[in-house]
Structure 1
Amino acid sequence: MTLPSAAAAADGGVRSVTRAFDLLRAFDAEHKVRSLRELVEFTGLPKSTVVRLLSTLSNPGIITSPSESTYSIGPSFLRWVKLAEAMWEVGAEARQVMTALRDDCGETVNIYIRQDLHRICVAQVEGTATVRSVVRVGEPYSMTGGAAARVLLGGCPDTVLAALSAQDAHVDAKDLRTGAASTREAGFAITHGDRELGASAVAAPITAADGRLLAALSMSGPTSRFTADRVAQYVDAATKAARQISAVGLGTVEAFL
């Protein structure tokens, strides 16, 4: 299941709603509080429009103002956070497999799903090393970079590949199609510095009982640790873990995939 694309929202959606979401995207772990000026710069909207949006979102507690001219996420989000955690929770059995894979290899383990033109991490078990790869759970990441993206592309229809190509002039739909086919045939993906310089990953598909691609199980860390010998071990371990999760299921999140 996918949501309407950003382009579709801009063309056919309610503009004020789109602008409200653009405003909310300004807040993250590194930017818990934003000034009015920062919000204007981030959204590219006129100051008067940002002020109206803030006023509208403040009434139901979606936005709060901790001090004059500064803003943050409001308490109303708490109920949606709890709901999202319940609905998109990866099951205990799947998480046990992830933890066992982490303990076996020491690297960070993630499960990614595709939503429209992005991949989103819905579960993460951090690696045991001091220097490790960590992503933000719930944040959209590119579908054209990284081992997990390559696996997820294997389940994409041509319309999605065409949209990804249209979104980025450096991306060719034919190349995406060829790469997706190669990954499907291999049963795994390996990348070095694909999404981020110095970071490597291996990924394998998680499938439903009917064979549909549901998600990608990824194991990532510094490229310096992903030597040829270790990569071979990681591929075996990741593909085995992905098959185990496919067998036990992903939990409540699977109903949305």
Structure 2
Amino acid sequence: MLQRLGAVGAALFTLAAVSGLGNGMRSTGVEAVTRPSLTLELAFALPGVVAEAMVKPGETVAAGQPLLRLDDREARANLEQARMRADSSLEAEAERLNYELARVRDERARQAYDKGAASDLEVRETSLEAQRSKLAWELFVQRQVEARLRFDVATVEFERHTLRAPVAARVEAVDVDPGEMVEVAQAVVRLIVLETLQLDAPFPVGETLGLHTGDRAWVEVTRGDEVRIVEGKVIFVSGQADAGLDTCAVRIEFPNTAAVPAGTIVRAFLAPPV
């Protein structure tokens, strides 16, 4: 009987250890190094000369805020020219009036023909002139549409000369100065997002069994004499364990309420720390 109770107790102890319920696992946690939740290396989509740097390292920028601008004088001139052509409707209006005049003349010729005062040839000529004027008017209307499309293209080309922040972030580095030539896809600005931080922690395999993306996690952040416990969430669980260390990598994301820099050493937990 005592042997049976001993075996049951050993089995329960083993189950608790494997499932990560041991008090030691909860209180100890796993040490990890934080990193930005997002790092962006930004580049221009066209070559050019840097005309203006609008931000400096350390500044916080909003989504859509301009960061760098290339020399855009030629693109600006092309845009203004395209705008003038897109906005001008004088030629199309003139051709419309020509068509109206030709249509009136054709109608008069037909009325005269019905009264025997005009020949078949005269009616044919006025009819063809009306058709020609209508086609000329429709052609100018089509050109007006094409001019608006060219204006849209010129607008996009002009906007490509300004590099903007895709998200709200902190400027970590500006790698070019005004007057420098940059190439396509050359990294010129690095942004990092610090409102949330991430970490990869090697937890014992037993603690990660049954763990899923979206599960709660906790991070112990020490800032001077202050210790904060911040709740986060699991965003990735590795599908392959380290057989030598019997650990499995877990990625956790948590709000940076303590405003610590990326690279801070913290402790991560998969259960509320005791």
- Which bracket does the TM-score occupy, shorter chain normalised? under 0.3
Q: What is the TM-score when the length of structure 1 is the normalising length?
A: 0.17
> Which of the pair is proportionally richer in strand?
2
RCO higher in structure (CA 8 A, sep ≥6): 2
> Which of the pair is proportionally richer in helix?
1
